[in-house]
Amino acid sequence: MSIDIRNVYRRFGDFTALDNVSLEVRTGELLALLGPSGGGKTTLLRVIAGLETVDSGQVLFHGEDSTDRHVRDRQVGFVFQHYALFRHMTIFENVAFGLRVRPRAQRPGEAQIRRKVHELLELVQLDWLADRYPHQLSGGQRQRIALARALAVEPSVLLLDEPFGALDAKVRKELRRWLRRLHDEMHITSVFVTHDQDEALEVADRVVVMNEGRIEQIGSPQEVYDHPATPFVYQFLGNVNLFHGRVQDGHAMIGPVAVPVAGMADSASAIAFARPHEIEIIRPAPGETGIAARVEHVLAVGSTVRIDLEPDGGAAAIHAEVSRSELRELGLVTGDRVLVRPRQVKVFEAA
Amino acid sequence: MNLSLRRHSVLPGFGLSLGVTVLYLSLIVLVPLSAAFIKTASLNWVAFVAAVTSPRVLASYRLTFGASFLAAVINAVFGLLVAWVLVRYRFPGRRVIDAMVDLPFALPTAVAGIALAALYATNGWIGQLLAPAGIKVAFTPLGVLVALIFIGLPFVVRTVQPVLEDLQPELEEAAATLGANRIQTFRRVIFPAVLPALLTGFALAFARAIGEYGSVIFIAGNMPMVSEITPLLIITKLEQYDYAGATALAVVMLSISFLLLLLINLLQAWMRKASGQ
């Protein structure tokens, strides 16, 4: 089922949660809504679910206007950050809930419910917990049960609100891989909200980056990471170095380093971004240009080496990542004077 | 003292605090209650049975426990509604209503009784509206019920309110996304969650109603066999210097109340176990 969101606005008092948001969710894809908290991503998810109303705009399910349709009739599965399991029911009854509340004519028989629930519990690999109560389960187990409960009603769309947000790092990683595998098996149109860029980039088919109620960029994980459309996306996704400069003769001057830019007026101020692995460090030599800096700290832990550099003139620290072999060749130690230049850089006009 | 009761804790003092607790409860609760039992023991068995099973006394048990039970049931229903409205909705005057709920706690019960009697008398504001329909409230068992409902309400509201406040809205949203309608959501999700607190409130309102005296005697009319409550009979006996007879009635009331409250407690414990908590 495809979802089409058209020009949706939603305000809470003075706060604009959704500011003219349009988005198409394609049938069968796993889409991530990524952004800082307060960026509007949870509101958007709740609007899709029908748990939140819109001030204006439309939500179409499979081309059909569903803006005013009640949550109950939308056939969405919703997974909450804090699980929202029914405490007084066993795990079995939690999963069976959606089947038991169906109108009598559509309600499956007891044997059928039993079979279906056990099928789902097996799918989430927790069949052995059927007779327990939610408070006897770990966070990761609870969230898998919440997912099984949402799938029991055979929803046409699965919506997950920060599904792994309340879990510790290790369980998070396991669960997100598991979710990806599950989606590959079931191909149910899914949207999940996260503020964790790793999670979004690793799990999703497409990522929607949101900030202050607006969509900043939509694209595959690779697209948004390698070609950020806005300074916000650049800064939000991964570590990044920020340089201030000025445009001269079609080049942005970042210190002594000139980067060709197109379509920017002379003497406009520019900001440039380069990721740590795009930073090149060289020893000062005649004829070489670069930002003069001093090595502050060398951290050789893991497969890459992180180097903190302090540029002359008091600009913000520069972070670089080099391979271990590069470090051996350079032989850098704290206090060395070096030249720094971005190998690759993306320039935006400063606001 | 069994040492296995003592667990390591950052706040030591199990022995001292238990000792103070036992002493305190003995002085405040146990000694006065046992005095009633001891005084009763001055009657022989035949005299005791005669004192506590005379027709007039039996009629008063029926009224006291029956009206108290009914009042507690009515309070459970409407107390839940009041708590729900106070927790879920924001409206002008909410705080005032919230504070008003506690008034029956604070009001001297005699004042409540006189006010209710005046309101419900056949020439009172409410009584004159009911009179044409042939409904008499003041000076009938119905009046007893009204007084007991009045004094029991805050118990239910105040026990249910915090539980409703803690109830995550996500639970209802989850039920809705799973296709439950409003009635199903209430019956299967909200009600089971508040039921233990509701039972506690019910038990408190019930216990309070059984012991109530001040407000009831003004509105009941106190006709023997019809609208006379057991606490009033006890006072009557005291006024006739029949101390042993009065304490005998008190002992019966205490025993029945204790059994009923124990039953409610067991029911709650069973419910907790059934829901695995």
**B168, B184, B277 ranked by CB distance to A101: nearest:** B184
Query: Cα–Cα distances in Å, from B146 out to A117, A122, A176, B205?
Result: 49, 56, 60, 13
With beta carbons under 8 A apart, name residues in chain A contacting B276: 90, 132-133, 135-136
Q: What is the pLDDT of residue B174?
A: 94
Token pair 């005046």 in the structure block, residue: B118
In three-state secondary structure terms, B51 is: helix
Q: How far is B200 from chain A (nearest CA, A)?
A: 17
Alpha-carbon span A149 to B201, nearest angstrom: 33
Q: How far is B166 from chain A (nearest CA, A)?
A: 13
By C-alpha distance, the chain A residue nearest B196 is A88
By C-alpha distance, the chain B residue nearest A133 is B276
Of A189, A205, A124, A131, the closest CA to residue A157 belongs to A189
CB A326 within 8 A of CB A279: no
Round the CA-based radius of gyration of chain A to a whole number and report it: 25
Q: What is the pLDDT of residue B1?
A: 46
Residue contact B179–A51, C-beta within 8 A: no
Q: How far is A196 from chain B (nearest CA, A)?
A: 22
For range A214-237, the mean pLDDT: 91
Strands (E), chain A: 3-12, 15-25, 30-34, 56-61, 64-65, 76-79, 157-161, 189-194, 206-211, 214-219, 241-248, 251-254, 257-260, 269-274, 279-282, 291-299, 304-311, 318-323, 337-342, 346-349
- Give yes or no for residue A136 having a pLDDT over 50: yes
Please count the residue pairs, one from chain A and one from chain B, whose beta carbons lie less than 8 angstroms apart: 74
With beta carbons under 8 A apart, name residues in chain B contacting A78: 173-174, 177
Alpha-carbon span A329 to A81, nearest angstrom: 48
CB B76 within 8 A of CB B201: yes
Residue contact B189–A86, C-beta within 8 A: yes
With beta carbons under 8 A apart, name residues in chain A contacting B168: 82, 84
Residue contact A136–B277, C-beta within 8 A: no
Alpha-carbon span B111 to B66, nearest angstrom: 24
Residue contact A51–B177, C-beta within 8 A: yes
Residue contact B177–A78, C-beta within 8 A: yes
Residue contact A72–B188, C-beta within 8 A: no
With beta carbons under 8 A apart, name residues in chain A contacting B175: 86, 97, 101
ipTM of the complex: 0.82
Q: Given pLDDT bands bounded at 50, 70 and 90, which one contains residue B277?
A: low
Q: Mutate which of A46, A76, A83, A87 to test chain B, going by most B C-beta atoms within 10 A?
A: A87
Of A230, A83, A222, the closest CA to residue A166 belongs to A83
- Give yes or no for residue A294 having a pLDDT over 50: yes
With beta carbons under 8 A apart, name residues in chain B contacting A87: 193, 275, 277
Which of A282-286, B84-88, B149-153 is predicted least confidently? A282-286
* pLDDT tens per residue, range A49-84: 999 999 999 999 988 888 888 888 888 999 999 999
Sequence ranges of the domains in chain B: 1-41, 45-274
For range A256-274, the mean pLDDT: 81
Q: How far is B96 from chain A (nearest CA, A)?
A: 26
By C-alpha distance, the chain A residue nearest B168 is A84
Q: What is the pLDDT of residue B6?
A: 57
Residue contact B179–A101, C-beta within 8 A: yes
Q: What is the pLDDT of residue A115?
A: 95
* pLDDT tens per residue, range B20-55: 999 999 999 889 888 888 888 888 888 888 888 899
For range A322-328, the mean pLDDT: 87
Q: What is the pLDDT of residue A29?
A: 94
Classify the C-alpha dihedral B88-B93-B95-B100 as positive or negative: negative
Alpha-carbon span A156 to B160, nearest angstrom: 38
The 8 Å CB, 24+ separation contacts for B114-121 are: B114/B218, B116/B143, B116/B146, B116/B147, B116/B150, B116/B215, B116/B218, B116/B219, B117/B143, B117/B218, B117/B219, B120/B146, B120/B219
Token pair 């026990």 in the structure block, residue: B159
* pLDDT tens per residue, range A329-346: 888 888 888 988 888 888
Q: Mutate which of A75, A86, A107, A120 to test chain B, going by most B C-beta atoms within 10 A?
A: A86
Retrieve residue B225's tokens. 């066999």
By C-alpha distance, the chain A residue nearest B192 is A88
By residue count, chain B amounts to: 277
CATH class of B45-274: mainly alpha
Residue contact A101–B276, C-beta within 8 A: no
Classify the C-alpha dihedral A161-A167-A172-A178 as positive or negative: negative
Token pair 């099928």 in the structure block, residue: A119
Q: How far is A131 from chain B (nearest CA, A)?
A: 10
Q: How far is A227 from chain B (nearest CA, A)?
A: 37
State the virtual CA torsion across B185, B189, B192, B194 in degrees, nearest 10. -90
Q: How far is B9 from chain A (nearest CA, A)?
A: 24
* pLDDT tens per residue, range B195-222: 989 999 999 999 999 989 888 988 888 8
With beta carbons under 8 A apart, name residues in chain B contacting A152: 178
Q: Given pLDDT bands bounded at 50, 70 and 90, which one contains residue B172?
A: very high
Strands A291-299 and A337-342, bridge-based pairing: antiparallel
Alpha-carbon span A278 to A257, nearest angstrom: 14
DSSP A4-31: EEEEEEEEETTEEEEEEEEEEEPTT-EE
CB B197 within 8 A of CB B163: yes
With beta carbons under 8 A apart, name residues in chain A contacting B181: 72, 101
**B171, B179, B184 ranked by CB distance to A86: nearest:** B171
Q: How far is B98 from chain A (nearest CA, A)?
A: 26
Q: What is the pLDDT of residue B122?
A: 84
For chain A, percent of residues with pLDDT exceeding 70: 100
Q: What is the pLDDT of residue B209?
A: 92
For range A168-181, the mean pLDDT: 88
CB A17 within 8 A of CB A211: no
Residue contact A51–B174, C-beta within 8 A: no
With beta carbons under 8 A apart, name residues in chain A contacting B190: none
Which of A216-220, A221-225, A266-270, B107-111 is predicted least confidently? A266-270
Q: How far is A57 from chain B (nearest CA, A)?
A: 22
By C-alpha distance, the chain A residue nearest B273 is A88
Token pair 């607790």 in the structure block, residue: B21
Alpha-carbon span A208 to A174, nearest angstrom: 23
Query: Cα–Cα distances in Å, from B4 out to B9, B14, B169, B235?
Result: 13, 12, 42, 48
Q: What is the pLDDT of residue A351?
A: 66
Q: How far is B49 from chain A (nearest CA, A)?
A: 46
Residue B77, burial from CB neighbour count under 10 angstroms (0-12, 13-18, 19+) = exposed
Residue contact A135–B180, C-beta within 8 A: no
Q: Using an 8 Å CB-CB cutoff, list residues of chain B that contact chain A.
A: 168, 170-171, 173-181, 184, 188-189, 192-193, 275-277
